[in-house]
Every structure is written in structure tokens, then in C-alpha cells.
């Protein structure tokens, strides 16, 4: 089947989901991101790659943090950035998605970063845009959030480079998390042999085992001897019906406290995609503790987004140079 | 064509670099060949000189046409570039476009006092007003020829010419 993310030569054309991305492309993105980590540590945190290009952040759903990191990433590549919160603009006046996109194309945008509450929105836009425009999915419904998945994997690789010998546990609301799916795909593609999910039955998708993960319903067993603990946020805004008794009850059973974390390996790292619900899924002392890499994740997120944009933005003739 | 022994050329440029070194000097190698050469120069000089590495890919002028190369190496310049006399080392000098990109990147780290360009071989074909200050050898090549420096597992340098069919 044709992968809409890749061009005729198998190079990255859009970034819509990690599913179906070959290992070669994942490694290309992660290796390129290493270069951009260094750029952020310089006095002048800017490179000229996307000079003269216009990146449009089209956010049909609000997400200040994701939008900000894409904006910083684009600006550090010297692109001009337009931010559109469509929820508060034309769509409330009745304009369709494609009309909004067509207007931006007419303004000579070169890249779209799309966030939408509906699964598949970024795919839909990618199929519509002309050849010279790339689309990056910045989160679509419950479906995918590929740059978050990539930045998490990048963080894992930086702290635990030997990915073929890792035990990784994802804890929490897998059902509503678009990050979890992206992460599971990326981790297994890059050779992590054991990915676990730890969650109450009500917060797991019905076919979760099909993703190639081991399922645990209690923290103690699930965290035993893991190298990486990836906490997921309780997606309050996506909850419908009574999936959970109460936040306090959830914290007692699935909250990450230091006592729980001690079941993992002593050098295990703790990750969280943010924003955190302190005292609901994670205890403050763990979030701020020595094993936490939550803030480095944010820093690496910019490098990974720069890498994706830099790979997508260049090369009118096909293929990377060697 | 008989190519010179790169080890001899390296000894030659190392001696010329040694004459240039002053207390404010720093070495910067351009990936990958320039970095190999820089490390060998440092071994020989046995001096405490700040050094760094550059991959000027993010500053190249052919990005729009050819995209980002896939085996990017992170630039790593841990010293303060400002007011340093930078000795910039590359293996093969051709169009001068890599040097242009590398200089642009260096200036994003700071304002060097000077930049001296050292190359193992100048193969002719400069397209910009840039000339190496120290050159191991000049070998004029045709556009369809590709001169490649390689390093074997023992660290020994080799030169070979490939014919471009493209």
C-alpha cells in the first residue's frame, strides 16, 4: 500500500503518524535531532535552513505548549511563522477546513503544522495540498501525535542508548492517549524488546495486546525492573462517562510515587508528556526528583521538531545528499 | 594519475600549522575528513589547543535543491570562538562552498579574530573568492572526477579518485 507520508523515492514527505514509518526514517529523524540539540546550546540558536519559508501552525484545537514548541522550532530554522487558532477564527464563521487551507496555500505557505480534534484531519489536508507543501500532524483526535512520540523516543535513546536491552512501561490513560500509540510504534520499530502498559481496564483500548505490548493492571508488578517509566496524562477533557471513580482513588492505585518507582530499576528514568496533573497521575516529589527527565523532554522536543521540519523543508530534487 | 601519499601531505600541513599556532589559536575540523586531519594534527603537536568540529550542512546553499544529507554529524565547538585565531581544516578544497558555509556557522558561535583555511588538497574549481592559506598539494581535476579521502581502521589516510557517472 502506498504510504502517504513518503514520496516516490521513499523519503519523508509529510509526518502524519509513526505507524508505517520505516526504521531508516525514524533513525534519520533522531540522528538529525542530535545536531539540533547542539544548535540550542549556542549563543545564536538559529540556522538558516528555512530562511524565506513560511510555516503555518493551524490549530483547530487549542494546545499552547505544542504550538509554542513548533513555533520555536520553526523560528530557530529561520522560517516565518503564522499561528492560526482556527477554533476562534473563520471556522466559527462556517468556513470548511479545506477553504481555510486553500486560503493559506494562496498566501504561499510552505509547511502546515496541523492540530485537530478529529482523527485523520492531518491526512485529509496532506491529500489536498500541492506537491511542494508538507504537512506535520501535531495531534489528531485519539489517533496520533508523531512528534511527541518521536521526542519521547529521542529522550529514551539519549538516556538509554542501548535500545535493544530496554524494558519500558507506559502508565495511565492509554485509551485516550494519542501519544501512547505513537510511542509504542516507535519503540517497537527501534527494537525495544519489552513494552508494557499499566492501566485500569477501563483506560485500555480493547485490542491493546495487538500493539505488541504486555498488559498489567497493577503498578507494583508492571514497574518491576523497568528502565523507563512513561507516564501518560489523564485526559480529563476526553473522558466521557464514568471511567474512573475519582482522581484521589486513581492516584492511590496508578499514581507514580517514589515508593512505587522503587520497584523499577534504580537508574530508571521518569517521563511525562505534560501538562502534568500533579497528585493525580504523578507525585510532585517524583516529577521534580532526580530520576525525572520531564524538562529535558521539552528541550529535546524542539530539536526533534526542528529535525522533522528540516528534513521536510529541503530537497526539491528527490533524496538526501550523502 | 599518481596521487601523493596523504600521510606525507599531512606531515607537511602539520608543520605549517605549527608555525601559525599562537596562544589564542583554536583548531576546527570540518566533518568528516577535516576532523580526521585535525585529530592527527593535535596528536603531533601535543599542545593544549582548544578544538572543535563542524558539519556545515545546516548552512549549505544546496539545501533547497538537495535537502538535508542523511549522515549529519553534530557540530561541537565547546570553546568561545570570539577573538580566537581559528585554524579551519578541511580535506579537499573544491568550489569553496563548504568553506563559505563553515565560516557562516562559525560566526554564529562568535566573532573570531581570524580564520586560516588549511586543506590537504586543492583540486581546483573555486567558485567563490576563497583560497586556502595552507595547502598540502594542488591537483587539478575534472568536474566528473571525485577525489575522496578515507581513513582505514588503523587510522591511516588514503586518497582515491572516482569517476562520477552522473
Residue (of A277, A19, A34, A289) closest to A155 by Cα position: A34
B108/A44 touch (CB, cutoff 8 Å), yes or no: yes
d(CA A236, CA A234) in angstroms, rounded, equals 6
pLDDT tens-digit profile of A244-269?
Answer: 777 788 888 899 999 999 999 999 99
Calculate what percentage of chain A has a pLDDT beyond 70: 92
Grid cell, residue A245, equals 471513580
Window 273-312 of A, Cβ < 8 Å to B: 310-311
Question: Quick one: how far is CA A279 from the chain centroid?
Answer: 23
What are the Cα distances from residue A235, in Å, to A32, A172, B54? 31, 10, 43
Residue B125 belongs to a domain: yes
- DSSP 8-state code for residue A186: H
Residue A19: helix, strand or coil by DSSP?
coil
pLDDT tens-digit profile of A279-319?
Answer: 889 999 999 999 999 999 999 999 999 999 999 998 764 44
Average pLDDT of each block of 10 consecutive residues along chain A (322 residues)?
82 92 94 93 90 94 90 97 79 77 93 92 94 94 88 97 96 86 89 95 87 93 97 71 73 93 97 90 95 96 97 68 42
A44/B109 touch (CB, cutoff 8 Å), yes or no: yes
B66/A321 touch (CB, cutoff 8 Å), yes or no: yes
Which of B64, B76, B104 minimises the CB distance to A314?
A: B64
B59/A317 touch (CB, cutoff 8 Å), yes or no: no
Residue (of A275, A156, A247, A187) closest to A196 by Cα position: A187
In chain B, which residues have their Cβ closer than 8 Å to the Cβ of A40?
A: none
B70/A39 touch (CB, cutoff 8 Å), yes or no: no
Please give the tally of structural domains in chain B: 1
The range of the structural domain enclosing residue B113 comes to 6-163
Contacts of A315 (CB under 8 A, 6+ apart): A11, B63, B64, B65, B66, B67, B68
Residue B17 parent element (H or E)? helix B6-20
In chain B, which residues have their Cβ closer than 8 Å to the Cβ of A37?
A: 74
In chain B, which residues have their Cβ closer than 8 Å to the Cβ of A154?
A: none
ipTM of the complex: 0.84
Which of B63, B109, B110 minimises the CB distance to A314?
A: B63
Which of A48, A314, A316 minimises the CB distance to B59?
A: A48
CA angle B139, B133, B75 (to 5 degrees): 95
CB A241 within 8 A of CB A268: no
Residue B94 belongs to a domain: yes
d(CA B121, CA A123) in angstroms, rounded, equals 50
CB A211 within 8 A of CB A194: no
Residue B1 belongs to a domain: no
CB A270 within 8 A of CB A229: yes
Domains and CATH numbers, chain A: 23-144+300-313 (3.40.50.1370), 146-296 (3.40.50.1370)
Which of B67, B105, B108 minimises the CB distance to A314?
A: B67
**Which of A10, A79, A315, A317 should we substitute to test contact with B (largest number of B Cβ atoms within 10 Å)?**
A315
Amino acid at each position: 500500500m502506498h504510504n502517504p507520508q513518503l514520496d516516490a523515492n521513499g523519503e519523508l514527505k509529510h509526518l502524519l503518524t509513526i505507524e508505517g514509518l520505516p526504521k531508516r526514517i525514524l533513525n534519520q529523524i533522531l540522528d538529525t535531532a542530535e545536531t539540533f540539540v547542539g544548535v540550542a546550546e549556542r549563543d545564536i540558536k538559529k540556522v538558516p535552513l528555512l530562511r524565506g519559508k513560511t510555516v503555518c501552525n493551524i490549530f483547530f484545537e487549542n494546545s499552547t505548549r505544542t504550538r509554542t514548541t513548533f513555533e520555536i522550532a520553526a523560528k530557530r530554522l529561520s522560517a516565518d511563522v503564522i499561528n492560526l487558532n482556527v477554533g476562534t477564527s473563520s471556522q466559527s464563521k462556517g468556513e470548511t477546513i479545506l477553504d481555510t487551507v486553500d486560503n493559506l496555500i494562496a498566501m504561499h505557505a510552505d509547511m502546515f503544522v496541523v492540530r485537530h480534534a478529529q482523527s485523520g484531519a492531518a491526512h485529509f489536508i496532506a491529500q489536498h495540498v500541492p506537491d511542494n507543501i508538507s504537512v506535520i500532524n501535531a495531534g489528531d483526535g485519539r489517533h496520533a501525535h508523531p512528534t511527541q512520540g518521536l521526542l519521547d523516543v529521542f529522550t529514551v535513546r539519549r538516556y538509554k542508548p542501548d535500545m535493544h536491552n530496554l524494558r519500558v512501561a507506559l502508565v495511565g490513560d492509554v485509551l485516550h492517549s494519542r501519544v501512547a500509540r505513537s510511542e509504542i510504534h516507535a519503540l517497537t520499530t527501534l527494537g525495544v524488546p519489552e513494552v508494557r502498559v499499566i492501566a485500569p481496564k477501563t483506560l485500555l483500548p480493547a485490542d491493546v495486546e495487538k500493539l505488541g505490548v504486555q498488559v498489567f493492571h497493577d503498578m507494583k508488578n508492571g514497574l518491576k525492573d523497568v528502565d523507563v517509566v512513561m507516564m501518560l496524562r489523564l485526559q480529563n477533557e476526553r473522558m466521557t462517562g464514568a471511567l474512573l471513580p475519582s482522581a484521589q482513588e486513581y492516584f492511590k492505585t496508578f499514581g507514580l510515587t517514589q515508593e512505587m518507582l522503587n520497584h523499577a530499576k534504580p537508574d530508571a528514568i521518569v517521563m511525562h508528556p505534560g501538562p502534568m496533573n500533579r497528585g493525580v497521575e504523578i507525585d510532585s516529589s517524583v516529577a521534580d526528583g532526580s530520576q525525572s527527565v520531564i524538562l529535558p523532554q521539552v528541550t529535546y522536543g524542539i530539536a526533534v521538531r526542528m529535525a522533522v521540519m528540516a528534513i521536510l523543508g529541503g530537497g526539491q530534487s528527490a533524496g538526501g545528499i550523502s | 594519475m599518481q596521487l601523493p601519499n596523504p600521510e606525507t601531505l599531512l606531515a607537511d600541513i602539520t608543520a605549517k600549522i605549527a608555525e601559525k599556532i599562537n596562544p589564542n589559536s583554536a583548531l576546527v575540523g570540518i566533518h568528516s575528513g577535516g576532523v580526521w586531519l585535525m585529530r592527527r594534527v593535535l596528536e603531533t603537536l601535543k599542545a593544549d589547543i582548544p578544538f572543535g568540529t563542524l558539519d556545515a550542512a545546516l548552512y549549505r546553499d544546496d539545501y533547497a535543491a538537495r535537502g538535508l544529507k542523511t549522515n549529519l554529524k553534530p557540530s561541537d565547538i565547546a570553546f568561545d570562538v570570539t577573538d580566537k585565531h581559528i585554524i579551519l581544516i578541511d580535506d579537499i578544497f573544491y568550489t569553496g562552498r563548504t568553506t563559505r558555509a563553515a565560516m557562516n556557522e562559525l560566526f554564529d558561535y562568535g566573532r573570531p579574530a581570524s580564520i586560516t583555511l588549511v586543506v590537504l588538497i586543492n583540486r581546483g574549481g573555486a567558485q567563490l573568492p576563497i583560497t586556502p592559506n595552507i595547502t598540502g598539494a594542488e591537483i587539478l581535476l575534472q568536474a566528473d572526477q571525485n577525489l575522496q579521502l578515507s581513513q582505514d581502521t588503523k587510522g591511516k589516510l588514503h586518497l582515491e579518485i572516482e569517476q562520477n557517472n552522473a
